[in-house]
Chains A and B, each alone.
Chain A
Amino acid sequence: MPERIRGLSAIISLMLVTVALALGYWQVIRADDLLGRPTNPRIIEEERRHLRGRILDRHGEVLASSKKIGELAERTYAYAPLAHVTGYASTIHGKSGIEEAYDPFLRGDRGSGLLTRLQRRVLPADQVGTDIVLTIDLELQRVADGVLGNDRGAVIAINVATGEVLALASHPYFDPNTLDESWEQLATDSATPFVDRATQGQYVPGSVFKIVTASAAVDLRVADPNERHRHEGDLVVDGFRIRNTNHPQLTDLSWAEEFAWSCNPMFAYTGLSLGFPGAADFNVMSSPQPFTFPSVSVAASVDRFREYAQRFGIGQRVPFDLPTSAGRISSGPSMTAVELANTAFGQGDLQVSPLQMALAAATIANGGVMPAPYLASESRGPHGNTTLHRGGETLRRVVSPATAAAVNQMMVLSVDTAYAQPARIAGVRVAGKTGTAEVGAGSTPHAWFIGYAPADRPGVAVAVIMENRGSGTQFATPAAQKVLEAALRLGY
């Protein structure tokens, strides 16, 4: 019997040793995994008590801050229209915007090493988050929100030389202060107030996209902006007629003037010509009779066009502090001649975000190099400051400096003499391009403007879109003018 009793003792001891091993497994090896799961209520419980860091504008204006009410912390957002930038930090609905992107900073995480955890347990002082300083200029932001008013749409202003986003407005917005109470209503609102239109809107660009087609044509020497030609007629591509309606009184003009007057058949023809060797003959539409584009393969033109659209970042997510959408050049991998013709003047199946279009303008303003946009410049906390983004970084060279200079001239011409005239600012050279994007029969077009000022040095680039508002010249352009004027007044 004694050996059997010893055996029993060993078996039961072994069972308890298994328990000890399992304790080590859950309390050490799997601990971080379990604690990070949404089933861990401690995360929320601690967040309800911790004072998150503040979110500040570039001059230190408080945009979001927390204070203690009893045991629990309460978050206040000083300027609700910036909801898409600051985002929200809700214990029920999670986080968005900067609150989400810089959560570890705002929470004030000091790492999860054994020593830090031990220290936190021995000295369970209130964890204090670090502040996040944004590139937003609250004063310029107010102007941007003012020009949008009750329109649905977006305004972005970017410092060309640094990539700092100075203003980012997306309407309609929501009030993050009352998020939990109004969540149901906001989530089901057909106006989609939760969508950040500036970075994630998917819009047909219309004529503002002619900047991309023009850049390709100049860069490839398919077009000389100053070469004059005669143009009276429409263009017919595979039976699809593109009407010459934007400059009916002008018949003798330069290719730059075609851009300034936003000529659709001319830009369709330019797009179709991108893949053919040598400069294109722009006199083909000289007679009032429609010109039929010859039925030859435009595969090379499609490739060229796609290449330049990709260089401008269409179809790729912009690396940014907030989530961005990629947009698309076409619905499929290939394009027919009709599709290329339409896409070359900004229609077709193109989809872009206002951020992508603002960066297109900034690229021209920056001598052909696309600046890297950013919102968060640094974190400031009790343990020192950390630089989050250094200004002046770039994404890539898009076109040559000479091409950028030529397109710049064309954009200035548009503001000085043609459709973009409402963007003029006294004493400053402004560059710009209007757009009136058709969004289907029976719907009012989207009004677009992209441009920058001053035109002779890297200043501030803007993109404005107003959904279903009508003419770009009439609505988006004066709005952009107010934003550019305010930016210059503020010293950018």
Chain B
Amino acid sequence: MTRGIRSTELGLLIYSIALLGAASMLLQLVRGGSTMQAHLAAVFVFAMLLLSIHVALSMRLSGADQALLPIVATLSALGLVAVDRLEPSFAPRQTLWVALGAGALLVSAFGLPRVSWLARFRYTWATAGLLVLAATVTFGVDPNGSGTRLWIGAGGLYFQPSEIMKIVMVIFFASYLAEKGALIAHAPLRVGRLALPPLAYLGPLAAMWALSMAMLVWQRDLGAALLFYVVFLAMLYAATGRTYMVVGVFLLIIGAIASYNLFDHVQLRTRIWLDPWSYATDDSYQIVQALTAYAAGGVVGSGLGYGYPEYVPAVHTDFVLAALGEELGLIGTLAVVGLYIALIHRAFRIALRAESDFSKLLAAGLGTTLGFQAFVILAGNLGIIPITGITLPFLSYGGSSILANFIMIGLLLRISAESASGRPARA
């Protein structure tokens, strides 16, 4: 544990806080009303949370990556502004979730004896994760009428287990592949030009594929299924190389074709994706309105509070970037995409510098999760791929998602701190 001044981080954090402060005041001016104190309080809470994390990192993990927290803080600030703009009544709750997320970040960054400690209990995590997921399949509820029963809980407090499953899965596979990766990579079986690994090690691949399909069947959660599978494939690739990718992509295509033929909702989404304009008043109303909102924003946007994002259904969760696109314009949306690129760039940089294979795979897996999740929802928003209901990391409204994402950032900070402390300090 090291102590030191993190001046880069502090300097960048001031921009994030200033962004939230300026945007809150702008919304206050545009909308008027007696929300001034609430706005000031939210900005104050946000600033205090970030400064606390900053101080804690300076005290104990001074070698941790200094860009990560400011990037996440800026995205979270935009998320707070978006919720305040779109669903003002949810704004206090979103602030609360960010506060809980900050707590979760501290726990994940400081709570572990060492990062490798996670690897030791991988079957415990995996079993717990699968049990919770099974519980969701059995007892899942749909508290906000989204049409899918992805939540567990009661009495106003709901939790989406698939968000935590993401992390559990990345930890499990990082540890499994760190240990068995070299073995799997050796390919004693050859079928023509394709080299196959020992069949026994194909087990986890098949299991993961089956799990993704199961989520698709039971929970109709297309986005999560795709995310799980692709993250798994990416980690397998990082650990073992190309052979598994070929098999994995092949299985992905089979899965896609099978689910298209088996499920009405997959067919519907595909049809909407291929030709949104023909169903503009019913099935593809949401995507058409989202694209129109992006168009209405143009280059410079209508200005915060001057657009009509309320025409896009579920704008504060699945389509939050459409609202930002209308009011902040292309300048704003490119800034958001730039922040995600910077975020995954930092995550992979941490992976490259990490000491152990486990830490490398864990960081790469977390980076892939954040980056690919952002891609899946944004590409769905923009008609590049069919729409899947999945949150935009740090920007969408939603507690489980914010908690999970902050935990991932905590882990990345911890990995980067360990690799920095393990290295001789530069004179």
CB distance from B423 to the nearest CB of A (A): 16
How many residues on A have C-beta within 8 angstroms of the other chain's C-beta atoms? 40
Best-buried of A4, A19, A22, A114 by chain B (most CB within 10 Å)? A19
A27 touches B330 (CB 8 A): yes
Task: Please tell me which one of the listed residues A1, A13, A23, A37 contacts residue B292 in the complex, with CB atoms under 8 A apart.
Answer: A37
Find chain B residues with CB under 8 A from A34 CB.
291-292, 294-295
Majority secondary structure of chain B interface residues (helix, strand, loop or mixed):
helix
Which residue of chain A has its CB nearest to the CB of B377?
A: A19
Q: Decide: B379 and A15 in contact? CB cutoff 8 A.
A: yes
Q: Which chain B residue shows the least CB distance to A29?
A: B295
B352 near A: Cβ within 8 Å? yes
- Contact partner of A13 among B234, B280, B325, B345, CB < 8 A? B345
A28, CB-defined interface residue at 8 Å: yes
- CB contact between B382 and one of A8, A9, A26 (< 8 Å): that residue: A26
A22 to B380, CA, bound (A): 11
Query: Is A45 interfacial (CB 8 A cutoff)?
Result: yes
Q: Which residues of A contact B329 (CB under 8 A)?
A: 27
**For the complex, what is the distance from the CA of A30 to the CA of B337, rounded to whole Å?**
20
CB distance from A158 to the nearest CB of B (A): 44
Residues of A near B372 (CB, < 8 A) are: 12, 15
Across the interface, B237 reaches (CB within 8 A) one of A8, A9, A18, namely: A8
Bound complex: CA A35 to CA B295 (Å)? 7
CA distance A5 to B333 in the complex (A): 27
Tell me the minimal C-beta distance from A31 to chain B in angstroms. Answer: 4
Q: Is the CB of B302 within 8 A of A121?
A: yes
Kindly name the residue among A8, A24, A33 whose own CB sees the greatest number of chain B CB atoms within 10 A. A8
* Majority secondary structure of chain A interface residues (helix, strand, loop or mixed): helix
Instruction: Tell me which residues from 33 to 50 in chain A have a Cβ below 8 Å from any Cβ of chain B.
Output: 33-35, 37, 39-42, 45
- Specify the chain A residue showing the minimal Cβ separation from B303: A121
Complex contact B311–A13 (CB within 8 A): no
Nearest to B363 among chain A residues (CB) is A5
Assess the B308–A42 pair: CB atoms within 8 A.
yes
B residues 333-366 touching A (CB-CB < 8 Å): 333-334, 337-338, 340-341, 344-345, 348, 351-352, 357, 360, 364
Please give, as numbers and ranges, the residues of chain B lying within 8 Å of A42 by CB-CB distance: 292, 296, 308, 311
A32 to B298, CA, bound (A): 9
Complex: chain B residue closest to A35, CB-CB: B295
Task: Give the number of chain B interface residues (Cβ < 8 Å).
Answer: 53
B417 adjacent to chain A (CB < 8 Å): no
- The interface residues of chain B lying within 8 Å CB-to-CB of A7 are 237
Closest-CB distance, A296 to chain B (whole angstroms): 60
Separation in Å of the B165 CB from the closest CB of chain A?
20
Q: Which residues of B sit under 8 angstroms from A19, Cβ to Cβ?
A: 337, 375, 378-379, 382, 384
Chain A's closest residue to B181 (CB) is: A1
Check if B239 sits within 8 Å of A1, measured CB to CB: yes
Measured between beta carbons, the chain A residues less than 8 angstroms from B311 are: 41-42
Pairwise interchain contact A26-B306, C-beta atoms closer than 8 A: no
Compute how far the CA of A22 lies from the CA of B383 in the bound complex, rounded to whole angstroms.
8
Given A15-B372, A39-B289, A121-B306, A8 contacting B300 (CB threshold 8 A): no
B368: contacting residue among A12, A16, A32, CB under 8 A: A12
B330 touches A23 (CB 8 A): yes
Pick the residue among A18, A23, A114, A124 that contacts B333 (CB under 8 A).
A23
From known contacts A12-B372, A39-B289, infer whether A5 and B382 are also in contact, taking CB-CB under 8 Å: no
Q: Which residue from chain A places its CB closest to the CB of B354 in the assembled complex?
A: A5
Inter-subunit contact A118/B300 (CB<8 Å): yes
Residues of A within 8 A of B351 (CB): 5
Cβ–Cβ contact B375 & A8, under 8 A: no
A28 partner, pick from B241, B299, B357, B379, beta carbons under 8 A? B299
Let me know if A35 and B296 touch, CB within 8 A. Answer: yes
For B348, the chain A residues whose CB sits under 8 A away are 5-6, 8-9
Chain A residue with the shortest CB-CB distance to B290: A26
A396 located at the interface, meaning its Cβ lies under 8 Å from any Cβ of chain B in the complex:
no
Contact A18-B292, Cβ < 8 Å, known A2-B352, A5-B348, A27-B333: no
Which chain B residues in 265-318 approach chain A with CB under 8 Å? Answer: 277, 280-281, 288-289, 291-292, 294-303, 306, 308, 311
Q: Which of B107-124 contact A (CB under 8 A)?
A: none
Residues of chain B within 8 A of A243, CB atoms compared: none
**Given known A-B contacts A6-B352, A16-B374, A124-B303, A22 and B330 have beta carbons under 8 A apart:** no
Point out the residues of chain A lying under 8 angstroms from B302, CB to CB. 121
Please name the residue on chain A nearest to B364 by beta carbon: A5
Determine the distance from Cα of A412 to Cα of B237 in the docked complex, in whole angstroms.
Answer: 98
Once the chains are docked, how many angstroms separate the CA of A22 from the CA of B308? 21
With A5-B360, A8-B348 as contacts: A23 and B238 at CB distance below 8 Å: no
Closest to B321 in A: A23
CB contact between B337 and one of A23, A25, A117 (< 8 Å): that residue:
A23
Q: Which residues of B contact A4 (CB under 8 A)?
A: 237-238, 241
Q: How far is the CB of B320 from chain A (nearest CB, A)?
A: 14
In this complex, what residue of B is CB-closest to A2? B352
Closest A residue to B239 by beta carbon equals A1
User: Chain A residues with Cβ under 8 A from B288's Cβ?
Assistant: 39
Contacts of B378 in A (CB 8 A): 16, 19
- Is B371 an interface residue, CB under 8 A from the partner? yes
Report chain A residues within 8 Å CB of B277: 39
- Bound CA–CA A20/B294 (angstroms): 12
Residue of B at shortest CB range from A34?
B295
Q: Which residue of B lies closest to A10 (CB)?
A: B348
Residues of B within 8 A of A117 (CB): 298, 300
Which chain A residue has the least Cβ–Cβ distance from B376?
Answer: A15
> Which B-chain residue is minimally distant from A117 (CB atoms)?
B298
Name the contact of B325 in the complex, choosing from A6, A8, A27, A37 (C-beta under 8 A).
Answer: A27
Residues of A within 8 A of B238 (CB): 1, 4-5, 8
Which A residues lie within 8 Å of B234 (CB)?
A: 8
6 pairs from A and B in contact (CB 8 Å cutoff):
A1-B238, A12-B368, A13-B371, A19-B384, A27-B294, A41-B308
Top 7 A-B pairs, shortest CB-CB distance: A9-B348, A34-B295, A12-B371, A22-B382, A31-B295, A27-B330, A15-B375
Given contact pairs A33-B295, A40-B292, A41-B308, a sample of 10 additional A-B residue pairs in the complex whose CB atoms are under 8 Å apart? A4-B241, A6-B348, A8-B368, A12-B368, A19-B379, A22-B384, A34-B294, A40-B295, A42-B296, A121-B301
